[in-house]
Amino acid sequence: MSSCCLCSSSASRHEGGKLRVGFYAKSCPKAESIVRGVVQQAVAADQNTAPVLLRLHFHDCFVQGCDGSILIDKGSATDEKHAFGHQGVGGFDVIERAKAEAKGPRYEVETGRRDGVVSDVRLADGMPDVADSIHKLRAKFSQKGLSDKDLVLLTAAHTIGTTACFFMTQRLYSFPASGGSDPSINPDFLPELKSTCPKDGDSNVRLPMDRGSEQTFDNQILKNIRSGFAVLQSDASLYQDKATKSVIDSYLGPRSSSFEADFAASMVKMGRIGVLTGSRGTIRRVCSSPN
């Protein structure tokens, strides 16, 4: 949880300069319960809230660190929130509660982050893209201190939520290697995708990212990737590389690793990227304002 709107800057400084679970227990004891209640209501009212908050958590952390800068609204076309796919902001405890409501694993969220003041869409140029090769994806995650295992697990957040046909056009109709459809798509799945996203159709039509399990947080997304039923090109590419393929297989065998526990660990790890603590950063009194 970024500290804007909840706790005073003096309280944040006095609590110390490191992230920890329960950071605001003394200075702002009701903060987490307030966030929990609001998010539970929002997720119950709209099933899209949980996946949207997961995406926003990822986008905020990958652009100059987990500092809530995606929230800033200066009324400019260069604001970070205008990076394609960004729709707003979620705090870190908000993410936890949203995912819990989506039947995902519960985990304790470290708090104590201070807010950034820079919001620039150009800083989002290094965000992972659906058309990135597996080598480029691995490199982008590595630059953030995240491993191949983290890449697989955080991508598996696509187990809930939808995407737009806009992101499917190249994969279905002009895939670079073939000039037609991506050959990694299961032949039984291709007609279904083309029916939902016809050539020259409405690019805003939505489809689930996890076929058959889009409202449940589980490892079905990994099964789909292995079987050629991945929706996004970037998801499918995870099974085309030895390192990431072995990670996927480790969650699908008879003696599989704990997908939910490992996903939670990767979320905590991502939540530490580029954080501002102690006297670094600020506390935005108005969450959408850089001042």
Catalytic residue among 59, 82, 86, 135: 59
Q: Round to whole Å and give the CA distance between 114 and 98.
A: 21
CB contact at 8 A, 215 and 47? yes
CB contact at 8 A, 250 and 244? no
CB contact at 8 A, 147 and 205? no
Q: Round to whole Å and give the CA distance between 27 and 7.
A: 7
Interior CA angle at 197 toward 191 and 200, to 5°?
120
Measured CA distances, 93 to 36, 56, 98, 256 (Å): 8, 13, 9, 29
Q: Which of 85, 112, 102, 90 is nearest to 26 (CA)?
A: 112
CB contact at 8 A, 23 and 15? yes
Query: Which residues sit in the known binding site?
Result: 60, 63, 65, 67, 69, 80, 128, 158-159, 210, 218
Q: Is 59 a catalytic residue?
A: yes
Q: Round to whole Å and give the CA distance between 115 and 217.
A: 30
What H or E segment, with its residue span, contains residue 111?
strand 110-111
Residue with token string 């950071």: 23
Residues marked as catalytic: 59
